[in-house]
Structure 1
Amino acid sequence: MKFSILPVALFTLAVLSQGCVSNKKFNELQTNYNALQTKNSDLDKKYQDGQQSLSASTTRVKSLEEQLAAERSNLAALQAALDKCLNSTSQGNVNISKLVDEINTSNKYIQHLVNTKNKSDSLNVVLTNNLTRSLSREEIKDVDVQVLKGVVYISLSDNMLYKSGSYEISDIAGQTLSKIAKIITDYKEYDVLIEGNTDAVPITMPNIRNNWDLSALRASSVVQALQKTYNVDPKRLTAGGRGEYNPIASNDTDAGKSKNRRTQIIITPKLDQFMDLIEKAPDKKP
């Protein structure tokens, strides 16, 4: 609001026009006039300051309103992002849960395999002990018994079984063969394969063409000894030769050749018979 000094000036002029006034009166009027001028100037300054303050406040309010609108927009964007994240997390939790179930199933299967293997290993150890319990320490040196996947392998060295450079059964082999025959007889429902093996050294014997012949003849000698001397049913027996083509060690050393010269007695039960074999093993040495 702006104040004017025009009314005061007109009043003063009117008084002067009516006649002369005293100096005292005039000074009073002049003093009042000056005071009014000063007051009017102060009010005008306050008015200008108020206008500037109002303009600044209006600008500040507009800026705050713009900031508020921007924050509301950011809030909406954040809420949308949060909703999307929650949806993704929910789907992710489903996938993670499915993955955990698959891992648990896999772990159970692995543990089942481990338990099965441990059980199988334990059965093999028990069966091996049952089959070898009647053998002496000296005989065990020349007899190797293994159980692999339900099949029993009794491997006999040629040094123990045959006369030197021959397929004839030696005299010292009789006692060991009698014990093996007892094992075979105890498990009369199982088929038995007698398999001859040689080293890679060519044979130089009359009437024997090669290692095929030698391995087959040695297997046949064991079969006939089991049948004729130890009364094993020949219908259960099969003789076969594999020559030098089934080595278990290198033929480059004497020790390797000795391991390869062997005769295997392979007992092949069915699965249910294999399980029964554990329970029916001989309790006493013959």
Structure 2
Amino acid sequence: MIKKISLIALTLSLTTSCVSKKIYTELEDKYANLKREHRALSDENDELLKSKNTLQNDLDKLQAAYDEAVKERDQLQNDLAASKANLDNLKASYEALEKNSSAAIAENSKKNRELLAQLEAKEQALAAENARLENLKKELESRSKRVAELESVIASKDAAMTKLKDAISKALTNFEGKGLTVEQRDGKVYVSMENKLLFQSGSWSVGSEGRQAVNQLGSVLAENPDIAILIEGHTDNVPYKGNAQLSGNWDLSTKRATAIVNILRDNKDINPENLTAAGRGEYAPVASNDTPEGRAKNRRIEVILTPKLDEISKLLNEI
């Protein structure tokens, strides 16, 4: 799909005639599909975090049930000890009364039988509670193991993204202070390149220095085949009045994102299926558009790197 969009963009840039409405509509539809795929990935990531929270809540409930069962068992054990003490007292009384009164002996015998029946019932209840407690303990251990596995996978993904961020920062050291930043947040790595590093004003043709930066970024991405790569184009809010073939800032941001994708596709070690180009126009600013400095920050390309979540999804399905 990205290859088709790239071919269309190349055709548009080589012809002087206006883009037909049919082709433009197709481009819009393809962009909308890409945007939905990106949103689906974000929703899937949110759902996985929600599932983790749900498992943690279940684990907490099991822990509470386990603690309550321990409390009930301890109470039963105390009751059993008290019953045994009462039995010992009654036996002593029985022995004392045996010499004096057959009636008293008969009464004590009745009480002994009742006490023994109560004692047997408490022992049975204690055995049943111990069995329930053991089942709760096994379930708690099983849930704890699955949560630990999930946390381990998530931690591994975070560590891999941290390693990727460090590798990108090292590869792009020469471009520090030239409108390039690399940061990690929410489990993703964001590489932001201001347009002054990549494009001339109103153009979507990448300059030599910008191409060098993108190629160096691509050399790192080629070594990480399990990373989804979203390239977003952004503009300021100044209306675009350049090439008549473009409808405005949104179209310009899309072409700039596609230009970066085309450079990354030149690296044969990068899987094109991992690449997505999207234009966001002026609608996701990072600074105020009221100053030249703010507008310069808003004119940028953002490369958003997201780990693939197949392993976590499989673990959640097994749970």
Alpha carbons 2:215, 2:263 under 8 Å: kept: no
1:112 pairs, out of 133, 143, 149, with: 149
Alpha carbons 2:182, 2:189 under 8 Å: kept: no
Shift in Å at residue 136 of structure 1?
1.4
Alpha-carbon distance change, 73 to 244 in structure 1, aligned in 2, over 3 angstroms: farther
Alpha-carbon distance change, 86 to 138 in structure 1, aligned in 2, over 3 angstroms: same
Alpha carbons 1:145, 1:152 under 8 Å: kept: yes
Residue 160, structure 1, aligned to residue 182, structure 2: no
Q: Give the TM-score normalised by structure 2.
A: 0.49
CA–CA distance in 1 between the matches of 2:102 and 2:170? 99
1:143 pairs, out of 167, 172, 181, with: 181
Moved more, 162-171 or 210-219: 162-171
CA–CA distance in 1 between the matches of 2:225 and 2:135? 53
Shift in Å at residue 142 of structure 1?
0.8
CA–CA distance in 2 between the matches of 1:259 and 1:84? 77
Residue in 1 aligned with 2:171? 134
Q: Give the TM-score normalised by structure 1.
A: 0.54
Residue 101, structure 1, aligned to residue 141, structure 2: no
Alpha carbons 1:139, 1:176 under 8 Å: kept: no
Residue in 2 aligned with 1:10? none
Residue 220, structure 1, aligned to residue 258, structure 2: yes
CA–CA distance in 2 between the matches of 1:235 and 1:89? 62
Q: Secondary structure at the match of 1:133?
A: helix
2:239 pairs, out of 187, 203, 221, with: 203
Residue in 2 aligned with 1:176? 213
Alpha-carbon distance change, 251 to 73 in structure 1, aligned in 2, over 3 angstroms: farther
Alpha carbons 2:183, 2:189 under 8 Å: kept: yes
> Which structure shows the bigger proportion of residues in helix conformation?
2
Residue 81, structure 1, aligned to residue 123, structure 2: no
Residue in 2 aligned with 1:124? 161
CA–CA distance in 2 between the matches of 1:66 and 1:242? 98
Two-structure CA RMSD over aligned residues (Å) = 4.4
Residue in 1 aligned with 2:302? 264
CA–CA distance in 2 between the matches of 1:248 and 1:114? 34
Alpha-carbon distance change, 77 to 238 in structure 1, aligned in 2, over 3 angstroms: closer
Amino acid at match of 1:205: K
Shift in Å at residue 259 of structure 1?
5.9
Alpha-carbon distance change, 179 to 97 in structure 1, aligned in 2, over 3 angstroms: same
Structure 1, unmatched stretches of 5+, are 1-59, 273-286
CA–CA distance in 1 between the matches of 2:108 and 2:253? 95
Identity of aligned residues (%): 27
Shift in Å at residue 84 of structure 1?
0.6
Q: Deviations over 1:64-83 (max 9, x none)?
A: 44333222221111111001
CA–CA distance in 1 between the matches of 2:220 and 2:234? 22
CA–CA distance in 1 between the matches of 2:103 and 2:295? 97
CA–CA distance in 2 between the matches of 1:130 and 1:217? 28
Residue 90, structure 1, aligned to residue 155, structure 2: no
Shift in Å at residue 116 of structure 1?
2.0
Residue in 2 aligned with 1:67? 104
Shift in Å at residue 224 of structure 1?
5.3
Residue 241, structure 1, aligned to residue 271, structure 2: no
Structure 2, unmatched stretches of 5+, are 1-96, 311-319
Larger radius of gyration: 1
Amino acid at match of 2:253: S
CA–CA distance in 2 between the matches of 1:252 and 1:71? 95
Residue in 1 aligned with 2:22? none
Describe how 1:32-71 pairs up with structure 2 within 5 A: 64-71=101-108
Tell me how many residue pairs correspond in the alignment.
Answer: 206
CA–CA distance in 1 between the matches of 2:103 and 2:153? 73
